Amino acid sequence: MMAPPELDARPQWRWTGDSHFLVAALVEGHWWVLRMNSFPDHALWTLFIDGVVRFDIDDLPSTWGQPLDRSAPTLEPGTAEEILAPIAGFVAYGSEVGRPCDDPFCCG
């Protein structure tokens, strides 16, 4: 199985101001957003591209840098709101595929 091409990208992460979808990056004209999940019950991260889920991942590739780098800039509130609008309802792990986790210990 081939690795997803996104693993070779070099996103420049920016803070969104959202507590679930922490960072976003504009990569080749597409907005990437990382959702932090309840690890270890679920994958640590879920990647969304242009509002569509792409894949779950635990160990980020080195080419992605440090998404949680506190020195990274923050998106303008309006930009962050626009980027997050399509995925705002997908806070619970699995909700993006119609199977939201309802375990009160990890997602409640």
61 falls within a domain: yes
7 falls within a domain: no
5 falls within a domain: no
> CA-to-CA distance for 77 and 50, rounded, in angstroms?
17
For residue range 19-75, list pLDDT tens digits in order: 999 999 999 999 999 999 998 899 999 999 999 999 999 999 999 999 999 999 999
73 falls within a domain: yes
66 falls within a domain: yes
* Domain range enclosing 84: 19-97
Q: Pick from 35, 36, 10, 14: which is nearest to 80 by CA?
A: 14
104 falls within a domain: no
pTM above threshold 0.75: yes
42 falls within a domain: yes
For residue range 69-103, list pLDDT tens digits in order: 999 999 999 999 999 999 999 999 999 999 999 88
106 falls within a domain: no
- Count how many domains the chain has: 1
